[in-house]
Amino acid sequence: MKAILAFVVTLVLGILTMAWFDTAPELGVLVGVAVMGAFIIGFGTKK
């Protein structure tokens, strides 16, 4: 379930960022990678 949530959030934020900054669409890819990295770090740490 966490993987699906991470996928959906990353996809949506990447697409929205690409739409908002139409002069620099590669920014959406960077945001997507950054969000996925945050999910990996967040889900990978044990409490």
Classify the C-alpha dihedral 15-9-44-47 as positive or negative: positive
Q: How far is Cα 1 from Cα 16, in angstroms, rounded to an integer?
A: 23
- Total number of residues shown for the chain: 47
pLDDT in tens, 11-28: 888 888 888 888 887 888
* pLDDT classification of 47: cutoffs 50, 70, 90: low
pLDDT value of position 40:
84
Q: How far is Cα 44 from Cα 22, in angstroms, rounded to an integer?
A: 33
Q: Quote the mean pLDDT of the chain.
A: 84
* pLDDT classification of 6: cutoffs 50, 70, 90: confident
